[in-house]
Amino acid sequence: MVAPDLLTVARVAGVLALSERSVRTLIAQRALPVIRVGARAVRIHPDDLQKFIEERRGTP
């Protein structure tokens, strides 16, 4: 099994054109699922980011 390239909060912030703080808020609200890789470190699976974007497409 080959693991996908997981995304950092900084990378997701760049993709969404948001601040890292805004991405962390989405994570805290459980709007964006994460994979915990340590006590504080998190990563986002590319499929979860895609799903997040698709679910919000067309909503104000």
For the whole prediction, is pTM greater than 0.85?
Answer: yes
pLDDT in the model for residue 49:
97
Q: Domain coordinates of the chain in residue numbers? A: 9-56
**What is the model's pLDDT at position 14?**
98
Query: Taking Cα atoms as reference points, which of 20, 2, 24 lies closest to residue 10?
Result: 20
Per-residue pLDDT, 7: 97
Q: Tell me: the pLDDT tens digits for 7-43?
A: 999 999 999 999 999 999 999 999 999 999 989 899 9
Q: Are 42 and 10 in contact (CB under 8 A)?
A: no
